[in-house]
A = this chain, B = another copy of it.
Amino acid sequence: MKPAALWVVAVVVAGLAGVVGGAARPSRGANEDARAIAEGRLPSGYRDWILISVAREEGELDDIRAILGNDRAIKVYRTGTRPFPDGAIIARIAWSYDSSEENNKTFGRQQSFIAGRPKNGVQFMVKDSTRYASTGGWSYAQFDDGKALTDAAKLRNCFECHKAFNDHDFVFTRYAP
């Protein structure tokens, strides 16, 4: 079995383990959200999570984005007590990077770029140091138009980049106060 295929198996097994195990460890909300993601469903309410930071990616991504965290993730960001605990989830939403003609007209100059249509999917990192030990304790998921990405090679690529950040628990984004 190729590594990519093994990874899919790991994700599926982890998903099932989430259903069967249902450990009391993470709080009910975090547990349910982690389970939803493992089962290929968007966790309800993630869009209400607290903002961690924002960013702009040029190049092929060409988007403007927001990174949100559930309560467990935010607590770590605000207290600085890494590593993230099991049940911490980080979400990345992105939109097209659009020049705003109405804003520019008001400002009297070309300067304003706003979030346009949703773009590049919604991505999640879910922390479970046991289940996802082989990928730094995190699973990586992406939803395009609400549908879970199942391309194992693409998902594996997430970790390939995130592992460069192993000195701060595999997370790119820093909290913007």
Chain A residues near B (Cβ < 8 Å): 47-48, 50-51, 53-59, 61, 64-66, 68, 93, 95, 97, 100, 102-103, 105-107, 109-115, 118, 161, 164-165, 172-174, 176-177
CB pairs A–B below 8 angstroms (28 shown): A51-B51, A51-B68, A53-B115, A54-B54, A54-B65, A55-B112, A55-B114, A56-B64, A56-B97, A57-B111, A57-B113, A58-B111, A58-B113, A59-B109, A64-B64, A66-B176, A95-B176, A102-B164, A102-B165, A103-B172, A105-B164, A106-B161, A106-B164, A107-B161, A114-B173, A114-B174, A114-B176, A118-B176
- In the assembled complex, how far is the CB of residue A91 from the closest CB belonging to chain B, in whole angstroms? 11
